[in-house]
Structure 1
């Protein structure tokens, strides 16, 4: 029987009161009850991302394409709230104020530890890549405006994105596709810093992430039990909810993820598992037997799996392969039978070097490594020096970045040997001019090629991380053809780049632009090889 409160309402409420639809642990029926007798909670529209306030009194969720949304029926999500009533139910459903909701996709993703402030994710879902997480912090009572939250070196190449703030208010789980991604969307973790910023997202590794999609993660109050959705093999349907336990403080070693089974998962899509600290219920969404695209369901909280003691984090972790036995269950009341661990990865290439500032100062940052020919990708911290093991020789993309310096992005061919590559980073100083590598246009036009987005998004990220920075974009051509046409083309290309940056939320007052045609060559125009060096777009830092 499906408990739909558009019909059979009285019978469903009576059955719940009598315990006829009780849900003992994870072995319950697939037909779990909806949360409230209020028919406005689950509707024919899409309801998703349930988040319960720390005091257990409010259930926040997203609702898509509702006619009352800030952007009308075309609005991909507005944030709504339901208030706790009697009998562990929620009712009095209302759309949140215009301070929270906008024509973009708006949804509450968590709270500060004291519950006084909430985190709001606001995103343009039409964008194919984002150098800004669209995360905001505001008073939970709606008394103030949202304030932007900065995530260091954030970059999402996928259209989909999800964020959840853990109950401790200090840990953030992100589903996105970035530089160090094992397949489609992967799960990343970020930590709140003392200054309110969040650390660079770190991939949770191959114990969790697969070539399939991993999304909508939730970290339980114990700080170790991870629930997430995935369409990996072994599930009940399209997207299923899985659970795993963190094994050490590296955040890259996890127990073998276990499917929560038919008590929750169905041939439909199950997402957004959320287990509040208070109460006896966990919440999630499903498209199975729903009132529309997705409905919110609840399930009695399972007992937290008995987790093994945290192991000491290895001093260096590079290119690890999973060592957890694939058949290990999530609960181990007794010691598991001995299993043969996977052999460690034998690196074919060792890449090492130094990351220095051209100003002579020590640069503390990251080196990101991604294979162009294979699936390998990883990152390593760099405090003056770095070292990383790579599995195969070949062409790699290397990105070195450090706070207060311009990033370096380069392609290199690495042999089967120890290779030394040093990075000298230019400090962010007024007057510095940077060539925008890999910003490309259709021939003789100002139409940006799609592959230019990566380079342009790096400029967006730079401006986001340095909110006081102002730049001048300049466009240049070679001297072939009409000088008047070249001048117009260079100006049009500057405007195309500027428009792209503005579309990513950069204030127009921070970006000036001017085209110079072929009047400022940096190389000879006598032959095609050097002429191409003159066809470029640059930016100069005007204010820091």
Structure 2
């Protein structure tokens, strides 16, 4: 639908129009529109000449008869016959104003704006007073074809009219502002050089809706493929998922994602977790669905995807729910919906869950800062978890759906959206943008010339002003230290400044592989745990920079719970020369407390260690007191003192050299050892 066209309709006509809203390829393209039954001739002018043939401007009986047949066909949403009858009417009488206007409106509502222009233009030039509203539709058609100069001219002319409603004048004023914005944007283009992703990804079919893992090495996308289903639904095409891996600096030839995710039904508009082992997607008109399109989920274990499951009535509605985007921590899901209670025709909603193991809560509207009375669609939350990209035709843009970015502050408030600029945005509809975790590369689908098919996937360098915060990743395998068997372990990533658990994930139960997002610019504690094993502890503090931090590649060995095993707790902190625990230590201490609570028969010794700076006597006392501080914390939390002992070792048990700063830092540590 074209948003500006809603500005002047009578309320009843607007309600009728909304009721016949329908979608083209609903699970895929999500380009939708409203078909108005004689919008120009019926909704605006009523029955004046739509039903009273004597009032029509043509005296040709043949032309009037064809025109009447056209209005009947248009009432049935029969586009082709409507056009045929109107063309027949105009052959009989080329100056038949009503036929010209209706043909322009038919093309306009079908978003064939270039074809609508000559018909509206002829009507305006022939008799500008016959139907003054035609000036508005002419201006809108020019705007939607990128002819901003002519669009501006006709909006300005309409604004001088006293023959149209205040609502139409308000919409014309908005159109004029859009023209001024677009002309300025074209004069100040942003850097934009899209590169086709090549034959390994693109075909003579349509590819779109890209989704990337956090390491930007796995791509899952939607392709429109010939429908060979035995159900014989009559569709020429249906949608499936395909995947490709980035290896040796190139994308490998894509392959189908496979069953049971791919099916005879349409699957599209997917989002994936940071590690690519869960996919949430839209599918329409499936048996057992809640509405016209619902959200479904499937998980990967080893090499096998699970049977897709509907997210259920808490998330899905009786309306249209689609275009999901999952945050990198897996705890917030953004999506597009036309459900009741929204701000406009299409809104962005979100649902949350406390942990990835919990159920989703009731969705909430993202609010008036982002959602307008028109269309907000295709949300994409970047891996930094505070930069949101989306498409809108309600915010100031180039004419159709434009791409915008907005950022969330520490108080969880969204800033005013910013247009990504021309030529990334044009008079056409732009949507389905995703941005890699590094924040430098963006990916989108386009039907631009020079591609392999109708829609191809492209990538481009995102200009700096609209880039998100850089995110890197931690990648590796979890295994049993003794047997080398792979382990499906649980990961926690904690912001040491705030104590917030910013990520929870699991390694694959079959392969032990893990891939998690690592934010930059904050101190992070990593804990990895699995039943029957001692937990693993690590500390990260990655500098935030435009170039991004290097990824952390790490294989993690977990030691079975047995006497004599030792764990280095790398997130216990003290000031230099002090034995008082710093606040940043609490997260790690709580992890140790939980471990002891789950294993009530275990006894441990806390060991304090220093480097060789200072006297041995001072370091012995310091390490002893630091170990005692940890014990005191655990006792205060309720762990029996009989299960705890402590000892200070000073610098007698180094694990690294004391000749470098990094080595000395490694030697300054707190450990616990399982004792009889």
Q: TM-score, normalised by structure 2?
A: 0.37
Task: Decide which structure has the larger Cα Rg and report it.
Answer: 2
Larger strand proportion, structure 1 or 2? 1
Larger helix proportion, structure 1 or 2? 2
Task: Say which structure, 1 or 2, has more relative contact order (CA 8 Å, 6+ apart).
Answer: 1
